[in-house]
Amino acid sequence: MPHIAITYTANLTEDLHPLELPQKLHQAAQALGVFPLNGLRTFAQAIDDYRVGASTANEAFIQIQIRIAPGRPEELRQRIVDTLFATAEQTLAELIAERPVGLQLEITEFDRSLTRMAGSLPTV
């Protein structure tokens, strides 16, 4: 793990694709050196039905949810959040300067007792 899920308002689709946010977050997570390579999954999805602020056509939002396995120390979780948020802010700086865009990043831990996993991805 982790899973890095990026959801964003569909009015950002054309602006976000050239910025390669999923690729940059994936690379930044790899560079941390704390996650198994084949456990790292990053994906992005546009949300077509949304309301932001005053609901003008120009207002937009990006939410990044990072889910990790439990048990990592607080300092490491803080480093993960700080690194990935800095990557997102740097990647999106010009876009945020040009139009009203909200950005949120949150990290949560999977609950081992309520999580089931299966598949054939290599574990190393």
- Residue 117, in any domain of the structure: no
Q: Is the pLDDT of residue 4 over 90?
A: yes
Q: Find the CATH number of the domain harbouring 65.
A: 3.30.429.10
Q: Is the pLDDT of residue 123 over 60?
A: no
Residue in 17, 4, 13, 12 with CA at minimum distance from that of residue 96: 12
| Count: domains in the chain | 1
Q: Report pLDDT digits (tens) over 44-78.
A: 999 999 988 887 788 999 999 999 989 899 999 99
Evaluate whether 115 touches 69 at the Cβ level (below 8 Å): no
Angstrom distance (rounded) from CA 64 to CA 25: 10
- Residue 119, in any domain of the structure: no
Which pairs from 45-54 meet CB under 8 Å and 24+ separation? 45/5, 45/6, 45/7, 45/8, 46/7, 46/8, 46/9, 46/10, 46/12, 46/13, 47/7, 47/8, 47/9, 47/10, 48/10, 50/9, 50/10, 52/9, 52/102, 53/100
Residue 25: the pLDDT is: 98
Neighbours of 34 (CB within 10 A): 15
Residue 1: the pLDDT is: 67
Q: Is the pLDDT of residue 114 over 70?
A: no
Domain housing 11: 3-112
Q: Report pLDDT digits (tens) over 72-107.
A: 999 999 999 999 999 999 999 999 999 999 999 999
- Residue 49, in any domain of the structure: yes
- Residue 123, in any domain of the structure: no
